[in-house]
Amino acid sequence: MTDRRSSRADNRTKTIMRAALDLALEVGYAKLSIEAVATRAGVGKHTVYRRWPSRGLLFLDAVLSLSTEGLNHPHTGDVVADLRETMAKAVDLLGQPPWGPLYQALIGEAQHDPEVAAALNRRFIEPQTADTLARLKTAKEQGELAPDFDLDLAFDMLSGPLYYRLLITQQPITHDYIDRVLHAAFAGMSPRPHAR
């Protein structure tokens, strides 16, 4: 009996999140309401509020329920190729619906809602950052990066241009652009020959 109830609750939760995503894509996050999500999901608004205390936290869970499989860095021994592969996958994911517009809206909501910002950082941004930093650390240990290069700064240099285009200028982020970012960044991170 408990398993059946748990399964129904899980299905209802998934239905509510799917309704939130569909409505956000149709009308935009700014017009998304708990009432509209409840109606679309075929549940009462109290059912939604029992699971999520705010529209922002519902939207966060809904967006993060989408697959981000394949965004972890490979470790082939070529840090530039590994970063290029992962960055290209991320850009492809963000460059099209549903992820692109939904993630942009989620970042926007995080600017106004500290709970959403904290949860987004903890559940998505920090794990992605940690994975990138681990890949850069391995590259540094293997001599692919200058031994004195600041890895946190390296991460900022690699991700900053992508977020700038995604959120500020809204220019396309192409694979060619990723190559240009990597070339510019690694010109400064590569080990330098010792002066004689």
Rounded CA separation 82/130 (Å) = 15
| Domain identity same for 46 and 114 | no
Q: Is 131 domain-assigned?
A: yes
Q: Is 49 domain-assigned?
A: yes
Rounded CA separation 164/159 (Å) = 9
Instruction: Kindly report, residue by residue over 79-117, the tens digit of the pLDDT.
Output: 999 999 999 999 888 887 788 889 989 999 999 999 999
**pLDDT the model gives residue 146:** 87
Q: Is 133 domain-assigned?
A: yes
Q: Is 65 domain-assigned?
A: no
| Domain identity same for 100 and 144 | yes
Percentage, residues of the chain above pLDDT 90? 62
**Between vectors from CA 128 to CA 147 and to CA 77, what angle results, nearest 5°?**
45
Residue indicated by tokens 């652009």: 177
Instruction: Kindly report, residue by residue over 103-160, the tens digit of the pLDDT.
Output: 989 999 999 999 999 999 999 999 999 999 999 999 999 998 888 889 999 899 999 9
| Domain identity same for 85 and 174 | yes
| Domain identity same for 101 and 39 | no
**pLDDT the model gives residue 95:** 81
| Domain identity same for 89 and 137 | yes
| Domain identity same for 49 and 134 | no
Which residue range(s) make up the domain with 166? 79-189
**pLDDT the model gives residue 178:** 94
Instruction: Kindly report, residue by residue over 161-187, the tens digit of the pLDDT.
Output: 998 998 889 888 899 999 999 998 888
| Domain identity same for 91 and 178 | yes
**pLDDT the model gives residue 139:** 92
| Domain identity same for 47 and 109 | no
What is the CATH classification number for the domain harbouring 184?
1.10.357.10
**pLDDT the model gives residue 188:** 63
Number of domains in the chain: 2
Burial state string for 69-94 with b = 16 or more CB within 10 A and e = fewer than 16: eebebeeeeebbebbbbbbeebbebb
Instruction: Kindly report, residue by residue over 8-30, the tens digit of the pLDDT.
Output: 777 889 999 999 999 999 999 99
| Domain identity same for 93 and 142 | yes
Q: Is 61 domain-assigned?
A: no
pTM (predicted TM-score)? 0.82
